[in-house]
Structure formats: C-alpha cells, structure tokens
C-alpha cells in the first residue's frame, strides 16, 4: 500500500499530532527550523495514525524505534507486524506499508532550478562510471529527470535494506532500464515486475538483491519503491481514505 499525504496542517492539527509523538521525537523536532519542524511533526503524527489503523491500535500506542542508520520501525510486541517507510519532498509525502517484507520509498519533486548544469554537477555524485557514460548520452532536455530518477531509485533501494546511504550512491549500480509503473489513485492494485539491484550492504542483502520500480504519479514527481521481491502488488490511496477504513492490507 502506498499512501499519499500532505504535510501542511493548521496550528491546531499540528498541536494534536505532536501529542502522539514520543518525548524523544518532540525534542528532536524542537531542534529544527520552524518549517522543517512542522513537516516532521505532521509526518510522524500521520504515520502513527496510519499504523494505528493498520494494527488496530490507538495511534499513541504505536511504539517506534529508529535503528542505527535512522530508519524507523515497530518495536516491542509490535515488531514484525508490518513494515513501512516514509518519504517527503516539500509538503508532499508518501508512506509505503507492506505486511511481510522490508520496503523503501523515495520522492523528489522536480524544480525549475534543476537545470542541465545542476544535473551535470549532481551526476558525478550519483552515478558510477558505467552509469555516467550512459547518462552522458541522454538529451539535455531529459538530463535532470534522468538524474532524479536514478537518485530516488537508489535511495529507495538503500531505504529498503535499512543500512543507510552514506557515500555509497555511486557504488550501487543500476541496470540500464528501470521499469516504470503508471499508478492511478483509487484504482485496482497493480502487479509490478521489479528489477533487481544489489546494494553494498549486509551480505544477505547484497546477495539476494532488492527489487525496485519507478512510479508515475504526478508530472513533476520522481518516485521509486523497492522491496525484497521480484514482483509486488502496488495500491495507491490517500491518507483520508485510510482513516475512513479503506485498508487493502487486511
């Protein structure tokens, strides 16, 4: 399940969501700039509401723990009940939820400032040698989009593995073609063929690889979803629908 949500909220709503956070999360949010703090509060509060629906628990009883690489997960008696991952770009967010396997999702919304010159600068930090050679053959009109697609693909893969990215983006080599799925909200689940990518991580993850696909959701959005499988079924909904009880995981 892929859930779309907005990170904008009134002061009243933001205050209510903040009460769902742990003391550590509230303290961490206070150290951020006001706009970033609000997004963090809304994102984590909405996540608890969503997981509460999935687990049939009050949101305040959803206990989360962040691993050493910064990836949050369920802990205690809730560990293993479901897997999830969160991403946002500006005020737009996505939460991916899976019942039986790790999942990673990443979103970047394209900006007018992401020009060909920007793409050339970023390409050297994202692509390995073989990837860079392929990218240099891309027309200038597609250069920034190709960089963003590769960026979210690699981010999603590392987030699924849960080991953190560090400086390893260039070492995670993508195949020449990444599948792309046109996902329409509130349509039937879409069966997706994933392409295998082997990130540099724990031996078990590197050996088995992670399957990933790009998603077409909005014209300027660059989205990728990754999981430890060769195929997956993707279903897109919005946060309000989930709160009304529309849960395909059950």
Residue 130: its pLDDT value, please?
93
Task: Between 68 and 21, name the one with better pLDDT.
Answer: 21
Domain 2-99 has CATH 3.90.470.20: yes
pLDDT higher than 60, residue 201: no
Task: Between 166 and 72, name the one with better pLDDT.
Answer: 72
pLDDT, mean over the chain: 89
Tell me the pLDDT tens digit for each residue of 67-120: 877 788 998 889 889 999 999 999 999 999 998 899 999 999 999 999 999 999
Q: Model's pTM, two decimal places? A: 0.92
Task: Between 129 and 30, name the one with better pLDDT.
Answer: 129
CATH architecture of 106-238: Alpha-Beta Complex (3.90)
Contact 143, 176 (CB under 8 A): no
Tell me the pLDDT tens digit for each residue of 119-134: 999 999 999 999 999 9
pLDDT higher than 50, residue 182: yes
Which range of 11-20, 163-172, 177-186, 187-196 scores highest in mean pLDDT? It is: 11-20
Residues of the chain with CATH 3.90.470.20: 2-99, 106-238
Which is nearest to 100 in space by CA: 49, 54, 53, 65?
A: 54
Residue 187: its pLDDT value, please?
73
| Mean pLDDT score, 225-238 | 92
pLDDT higher than 80, residue 238: yes
pLDDT higher than 60, residue 207: no
Residue 52 has a CB neighbour count (10 Å cut-off) of 17
């Amino acid at each position: 399940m892929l859930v779309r949500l907005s990170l904008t909220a009134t002061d009243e709503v933001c205050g209510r969501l903040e009460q769902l956070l742990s003391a550590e999360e509230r303290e961490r949010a206070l150290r951020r700039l006001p706009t970033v703090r609000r997004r963090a509060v809304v994102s984590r509060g909405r996540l608890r509401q969503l997981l509460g629906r999935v687990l049939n628990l009050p949101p305040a009883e959803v206990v989360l723990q962040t691993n050493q690489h910064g990836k949050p997960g369920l802990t205690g008696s809730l560990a293993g009940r479901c897997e999830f991952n969160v991403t946002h770009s500006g005020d737009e967010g996505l939460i991916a939820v899976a019942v039986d396997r790790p999942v990673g999702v990443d979103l970047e919304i394209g900006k007018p400032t992401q020009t060909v010159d920007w793409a050339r600068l970023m390409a050297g930090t994202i692509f390995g040698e073989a990837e860079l050679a392929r990218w240099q053959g891309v027309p200038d009109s597609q250069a920034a989009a190709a960089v963003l697609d590769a960026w979210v693909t690699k981010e999603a893969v590392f987030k699924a593995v849960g080991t953190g990215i560090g400086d390893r983006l260039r070492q995670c080599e993508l195949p020449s073609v990444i599948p792309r799925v046109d996902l329409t909200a509130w349509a039937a689940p879409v069966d997706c063929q994933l392409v295998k990518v082997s990130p540099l991580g724990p031996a078990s993850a590197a050996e088995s690889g992670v399957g990933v696909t790009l998603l077409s959701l909005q014209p300027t959005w660059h989205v990728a979803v990754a999981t430890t499988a060769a195929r997956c079924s993707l279903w897109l909904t919005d946060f309000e629908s989930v709160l009304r009880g529309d849960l395909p995981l059950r």
